[in-house]
Amino acid sequence: MTPENLVFDMGKFPAAIPGDRRYCKNHMWCLTDSNGQHRFGFTAYAIRLMQDVYFLEWCVNEGDTIALKQQIGNIETSKATSDLFAPIAGQLTIINGELLKDPSAINADCYTAGWLFEMAGEATNTLSPSEYHAHLTATWENTQRILKGQMHD
């Protein structure tokens, strides 16, 4: 049985939610290979909110043991500069070095060439595609208020 692909409607911009992976509340996707390695990248939803990614920097190295929600890097986009946090605890095994040279693959192909890093560890706090879609639905109204600068309305 093939997992169902979903789409979250962001107004004029649909955000694809491929059915072959898991999702994190920090808007990263997680694809686990047959060896138990977890590859992470930004979801289409995150890319749409961030818009163009200009710069990516890591403050951790391959081989490091990472705690859940530990700061692992920084990202600069057309909207803001933000810290990046680990979506799971475990060992950071691979960083996509190509993105350090040119992060445009994050914008153009977030689910394949734009992957960020791989980790070994337990991905127990991830969401199914339908759970992630429900999370986006539950938080979308508040997200729109934040984007429009109406946080206290």
Determine the Cα–Cα distance for residues 51 and 130; give it in Å rounded to an integer: 24
Query: Residues 6 or more apart from 116 whose CB is under 8 A from it?
Result: 28, 40, 41, 42, 56, 95, 96, 99, 106
Per-residue pLDDT tens over the stretch 79-115: 788 999 999 999 999 999 999 999 999 999 999 999 9
Nearest to 87 by CA among 143, 26, 145: 26
Residue with tokens 């799971």: 88
pLDDT reading at 65 higher than 60: yes
State the pTM of this model: 0.90
Tokens matching residue 153: 């309305």
Spatial distance between the Cα atoms of 133 and 127, rounded to a whole number of angstroms: 9
pLDDT > 70: what percent of the chain?
Answer: 95
- According to CATH, what is the number of the domain 6-141? 2.40.50.100
pLDDT category of residue 50 using cuts at 50, 70 and 90: confident
Q: What is the structure's pLDDT at 51?
A: 83
